[in-house]
Amino acid sequence: MELLDGKKISSDIKKEITAEVDKMKANGEKVPHLAAVIVGNDGASLTYVGSKVKACELVGFESTLVKMPSTTSETELLKKIKELNENDDIDGFIVQLPLPEQIDTQRVLMAIDPSKDVDGFHPENFGKMALDMTTFIPATPFGILELLERYNVETKGKHTVVIGRSHIVGRPMSILMGRKGFPGNSTVTLTHSYTKNIAQITTQADIIITALGVPNYLKAEMIKDDAVVIDVGITRVPDENDPRGYKITGDVDFEFVSKKASYITPVPGGVGPMTIAMLLKNTLLAREQKKLK
């Protein structure tokens, strides 16, 4: 069994991006600038956005954090998005989800300029991805592809089972694993809460990508020997023995599944660090595309 080490690979990617930024600086070019908008005080979201800002500093990007109160109206948020769309200094920006209930998430995502949508959630970018065109791939699926590629995990002709059909991970992953090229060219089954006999399907899978958010859902008896297991789940499970009062747990029963798998991502330290690295990569891409215009 080999660990797909997201911590290590994300660190390699950040070094590669830093080298690109150093070249830009040496040529007197503008460095990439990423903005993040956060509405409200959700603890997990604040931590996540904070780590994105730190990552920007690390690679030499400029970054802007826009904090708005949880009482922000949809109109106010759309006005802020319009400002960011029109601000030439900002190459890409993200709106941290989830948003408070008074705001229509879909309307907000639609308002983002597709050329600055480094999260890859705008329908224009999602459509381009589905058509195999160059575009921003959502950061988590992009990170999974990068892990598979850098560990040279064979995907051609393999049976990939995706558990979960969210627009952020499951749905894009099912499209990307079936596309032409590497990683891709696999036969994909997309499963979800209404799928019957999931274990029957997962035991036939060469590659399993699970993004359910149900701790320890995937058990050893649900996979075949030497399967590749990608765990996107991340849940805080109460734990009195941990000083934080909780431990981070994935969708996979790691202790037992890891004994049967050929490759597996740990939680934490697997897919999570890759998400931020690929967001930086998308921001670099946004800056480069702007230069070509």
- 164 annotated ligand-binding residue: yes
Please name every residue paired with 249 in a beta bridge, in sequence order, or none if there are none: 235
DSSP string, 226-258: T-EEEE---EEEE-TTSTTSEEEE-SB-HHHHT
- 107 annotated ligand-binding residue: no
- 157 annotated ligand-binding residue: no
User: Distance between CA 173 and CA 178 in Å, rounded?
Assistant: 9
Kindly report whether the peptide bond that precedes residue 138 is cis, defined as omega within 30 degrees of 0: no
Residues annotated as part of the active site: 52, 96, 119
Strands (E), 41-174: 62-68, 92-95, 159-163
- 236 annotated ligand-binding residue: no
Residue that is written with structure tokens 């035991």 in the block:
203
The CA–CA distances, whole Å, from 202 to 41, 63, 82, 159, 161 equal: 38, 42, 44, 10, 6
Binding site, by residue number, is 164-166, 234
Binding site for NADP(+), by residue number, is 164-166, 234
